[in-house]
A = this chain, B = another copy of it.
Amino acid sequence: MTDAIDLDLHALVFDVFGTVVDWRSGVIRDVTEFARKHALKDIDPAAFADTWRGHYSPSMEEVRSGRRPFTRLDVLHRESLEKTLTTFGVPIASLPEQALTELNLTWHRLDPWADSVPGLSRLKSRYIIAPLSNGNIRLMLDMAKRAGLPWDAILGAETAQAYKPAPQAYLRTADILNLSPEQICMVAAHNSDLAAARLCGLRTAFIPRPTEHGDQQTKDLKPEQNWDVIATDMNDLAQQLGCTQN
């Protein structure tokens, strides 16, 4: 039994891919079905998922650098999907457009980690909770509706018109919430996200997700700074922040 940590927080904002949902298992599930349906026998779904996700940060870097105007993640995911199919030797023109559109929506259909919904529900009883994800609004909305994620609002890159870890993503979110950065806690399984949030003045909470990248994961297994809260999962975070059991 830990005493509640008192940080005078008003809101918690969350990384989502990896922290709230298990993106890799969800993408593997849908790529498996896609490959079966279209008789793509040489595709290893896990390798495909990792390659697709490998384009994630570089695709946003085009926007962060100013080389490209803000473009929502659904569009970047689709471009990355086409690159991935090419890498795996699949001619894009051989596939129906509808099948590509449908596969791209896998990111809207990711399952939460088991502790996410109960933990978020507890946190919601005391704090404003919202995603601060690079996923676009419709993506986050579909995901929340399917999985029962009880967000108070959907914030993030599209609302802020900036991709994390750009400071504007954190600072504009604070401005929209009419809170000062230190009244907000960024929750993430990624040390780099927390480091960027801390530089903007937000409080930070780390939750390790040691299988986000599969059983060979090497990074983000441990907190790399003295984050304000270090929790084992979302329920432990709720407990440490004084949220009673539902």
Chain A residues within 8 Å of B, Cβ to Cβ:
74, 128, 136-138, 140-141, 144-145, 151-155, 158-159, 176-178
A152 cross-chain contacts in B, Cβ below 8 A: 141, 144-145
In the complex, which of the residues B128, B145, B151, B176 contacts A128, with contact meaning CB atoms closer than 8 Å? B145
Q: A74 to chain B: which residues have CB within 8 Å? A: 178
Tell me which of B137, B151, B153 contacts A176 (CB under 8 A): B137
Please name 24 pairs of A and B residues whose Cβ atoms are closer than 8 Å in the assembled complex, sorted by A: A74-B178, A128-B141, A128-B145, A136-B176, A137-B153, A137-B155, A137-B159, A137-B176, A137-B177, A138-B176, A138-B177, A138-B178, A141-B152, A141-B153, A141-B177, A144-B152, A144-B153, A145-B152, A151-B153, A153-B153, A153-B154, A154-B154, A158-B176, A159-B159
CB neighbours (8 Å) of A159 from chain B are 137, 159
Complex alpha-carbon distance, A95 and B186, angstroms: 36
How distant is the Cα of A178 from the Cα of B176 in the complex, in angstroms?
23
Closest CB of chain B to A100's CB: distance in Å? 15
Report A166 CB to chain B, min CB distance, Å: 19
Q: Which residues of B contact A177 (CB under 8 A)?
A: 137-138, 141
- Across the A-B interface, the 7 shortest Cβ-Cβ residue pairs: A153-B154, A141-B153, A138-B178, A137-B176, A141-B152, A145-B152, A138-B177
Bound-state Cα–Cα, A176 to B155, Å: 13
Nearest residue, chain B, Cβ from A124: B145
